[in-house]
């Protein structure tokens, strides 16, 4: 079961973070920094479906994923070795100003889709989520 985590210790290039902040301020984008790990210790393959959205609890608004960093898009797969962690970022179109809580939902084929529910909105629109 995925869990929402507080800001983890992650080394992200300061230039990339600055560019993300500028993009958020200019375009009203939402950034979700994710970490996934191989919980079984055998290695696994991971990917993200382009049909991954942020769903506002207070309306029928759906923010679309507009960019990914450090993870491949389906139908491709990326190998994650035993005990390895993958840090990646998902960038979405903006949420409505009235949004206070939203869900991160991946809609894809098969049983490897994930979700992070009941994410409380913050002023920065930058979030940290652990997905397994």
User: How distant, in Å, are the alpha carbons of 23, 50, 77, 84 from that of 107?
Assistant: 25, 8, 16, 25
**pLDDT of 41:** 80
**pLDDT of 13:** 76
Q: What ranges do the domains of the chain cover? A: 3-131
Tens digits of residue pLDDT in 56-94 = 999 999 999 999 999 999 999 999 998 889 999 999 999
Tens digits of residue pLDDT in 87-108 = 999 999 999 999 999 999 998 8
What's the average model confidence in pLDDT over 11-38? 75
CA 84, chain centre distance (Å): 18
pLDDT band with cut points at 50, 70 and 90 for residue 38: confident
Rounded distance between C-alpha atoms, residue 109 and residue 106, angstroms:
10
């Amino acid at each position: 079961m995925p869990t929402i985590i507080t800001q983890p210790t992650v080394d992200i290039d300061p230039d990339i973070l600055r560019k993300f902040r500028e993009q958020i301020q200019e375009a009203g984008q939402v950034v979700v920094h994710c970490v996934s790990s191989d919980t079984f210790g055998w290695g696994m393959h991971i990917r993200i479906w382009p049909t991954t959205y942020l769903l506002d609890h207070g309306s029928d608004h759906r923010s679309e994923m507009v960019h990914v960093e450090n993870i491949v898009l389906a139908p491709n797969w990326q190998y994650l070795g035993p005990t390895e962690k993958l840090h990646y970022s998902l960038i979405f179109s903006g949420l409505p100003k009235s949004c206070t809580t939203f869900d991160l939902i991946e809609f894809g084929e098969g049983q490897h889709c994930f979700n992070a529910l009941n994410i409380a909105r913050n002023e920065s629109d930058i979030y940290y989520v652990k997905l397994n």
